[in-house]
Amino acid sequence: MEPFSWWNEKQKGLMEDVKAFADQNLPRGEEIFWTKEFPIDLLKEVARKGWFGAVIPENYGGINAGVTGASIVSEELSRVCSALGDAYEVSMFGGVEQFLTFGTDEQKQKWLPKIAKGEVVGAVCITEPFVGSDAAGIETTAKREGDHYVLNGKKRFITNAGLADIYVVYARTSEKPEDKAKYQHLTAFLVEKGVPGFSVEKINELSGWIGLPNGFLDFNDVKVLTKNLIGPEGAGWKVMMAGLNFERVVFSAGMLGPMRESIRHAVAYAQRRMQFDKPTIDIPSNQSKIAEMFAGLYTARLLIYHAAYLLDQHKDAMVEAATAKMFTSDTYEKLVSDAVQVMGGDGWTRFYPVESYLRDAKVNQIGAGTNQIMRLVIFRGGLKALGKDLKMPRRRIHEKLKVPISTVQPPSKTNLNEESVLKLLSEDYMVNPGLFMSREDLKERLADASEEKLDQALKTLESEGSVKLYRDGRGTIALVKATYDGLRKAGPLEKYKWYPEWLSKEFIF
């Protein structure tokens, strides 16, 4: 595929180099589907070429091509096989972002050059046997004892388990409810392979990601020196969240490779497969599937590299990263299933690699936070990010048309008392007859509306039965509407009457 126009020359060159490497090694990737042997030689080759340093600045031995650069490498390597692509990606998640953003100078000097050269491979350890989506519930503990912490617990589903040399481990350092409430109960640690008490408990037999070790880790009184904390004690959640935005972008880029390869196989196959005296690519429903594959690939690629660009600009990209991850993984699953469909029975045999991509696709909707969790992140983050754009338009009764219509006129304000609040609620009933008014809607229309005075007026109206209040989880009055009694008190029935002109008068009583 073509580089994007906003990529710099280094990033464009990087794409050419990694693409050539991937093209050369595609057959090797297919061998791994059968042998299940992890391609350690290819990973070493990737290291020798310096691509582990894609996102690492030059002064630490990297090539400084940004999150965009790491995504480019991830996209191309994932064309070879998931074992290679995912081992690369996960190594990026297990140290690089955490050291760059939160590491001390000493940690950066020590680890980043080694990561850049591929001398050490990383892993990230959040998930536990009893802790999945609810990552804040981590049960592995770390207790301070002088100049070190003692870690106890287990992690599971850890990609690169055993293969990695360094493990970014999140553990609980506080049991205080107030710390948990503020997400200050977790701390990030760097744990090196080989320290006493740290072992691989089990390796999973996965449905896909053939050849890539993924498993359980056990921590039994593991001593970790305080200099191996990443960020201060209690900052683990912050470290984890920053790392996850980076992870979701680079992880999504790793889905583009198999998506591209699936399209390649499906198209090439359909151009050569004859049914009903014509190539199956001439069948409109196959063309429609291939068109949707292209559209999915193009859209996913744009989302990913836009999010990567934002991260490279040090901008907040939480919603964009989660959107890229959710959209790409959902699209990948459908795309590869369609590719198999276009190839018919052959597509589902292991003699074409598309079958292997089909098994790989599902886990992308689970790893790096499930797509249900992505929807939560996007919902909450979207409300925050688009807050101003989502403000309810002010509406009023139009003088001539006598119907509700939006207005850009600044709201007229009235003094705050029970009577004026009830009048505003009755006016709102005329423009939004099924809705409550929000506290903010009311305050916008009231002069001198301190929180206390407003609460007082609303509670008085509630005790009289004139309004109904909705209190949020914190007990704050958030929404209010006039009851039928309240509407009657606010004005005669005539005030609320309206009929379309075409209506026969005899229907009105």
Ligand X SMILES: Cc1cc2nc3c(=O)[nH]c(=O)nc-3n(C[C@H](O)[C@H](O)[C@H](O)COP(=O)(O)OP(=O)(O)OC[C@H]3O[C@@H](n4cnc5c(N)ncnc54)[C@H](O)[C@@H]3O)c2cc1C
Binding site for ligand X (CB under 6 A): 90, 124-127, 132-133, 157-159, 206, 209, 214, 363, 366-367, 369-370, 372-373, 376
CA 240 – CA 368 distance, rounded (Å): 11
* SS3 state at 438: strand
Element (H, E) at 251: helix 236-272
- Return the exposure string of 273-287: e unless at least 16 CB atoms fall within 10 Å of the residue's CB, then b: beeeeeebbebeebe
At 431, list the tokens: 């423009």
Cβ 494 to ligand X, closest distance in Å?
49
Cβ 155 to ligand X, closest distance in Å?
7
Radius of gyration of the chain (CA): 29
Nearer to ligand X by Cβ, of 40 and 376: the residue is 376
User: Tokens 């050369």 identify what position?
Assistant: 24
At 369, list the tokens: 């936070």
Q: By the 8 A CB rule, do 324 and 287 touch? A: no
| β pairing state of 404-406 and 229-230 | unpaired
Cβ 131 to ligand X, closest distance in Å?
7
Task: Estimate the share of the chain in helix, then strand, then coil, as percent rounded to the nearest 5.
Answer: 55, 15, 30
CA 234 – CA 171 distance, rounded (Å): 10
In degrees, rounded to 5, the angle at the alpha carbon of residue 249 between the alpha carbons of residues 243 and 251 is: 90
452 is catalytic: no
Nearer to ligand X by Cβ, of 325 and 439: the residue is 325
* Beta carbons within 8 Å of 266's beta carbon, 6+ residues apart: 289, 290, 293, 338, 339, 342, 343, 347, 354
Nearer to ligand X by Cβ, of 199 and 287: the residue is 199
Measured CA distances, 133 to 167, 367, 370, 467 (Å): 20, 10, 7, 41
Q: By the 8 A CB rule, do 122 and 90 touch? A: yes
| Nearest residue to 355 (alpha-carbon basis) of 372, 367, 341, 366 | 341
Nearest residue to ligand X on Cβ basis: 132
Nearer to ligand X by Cβ, of 127 and 466: the residue is 127
Nearer to ligand X by Cβ, of 189 and 209: the residue is 209
Nearer to ligand X by Cβ, of 68 and 364: the residue is 364
Q: Residue type for 306, please?
A: H
Nearer to ligand X by Cβ, of 236 and 367: the residue is 367
User: Tokens 């929807």 identify what position?
Assistant: 375
Nearer to ligand X by Cβ, of 90 and 293: the residue is 90
Catalytic residue among 76, 97, 128, 247: 247
Cβ 355 to ligand X, closest distance in Å?
18
Cβ 401 to ligand X, closest distance in Å?
45
CA 28 – CA 66 distance, rounded (Å): 28
Cβ 376 to ligand X, closest distance in Å?
6
| Catalytically annotated residues | 247
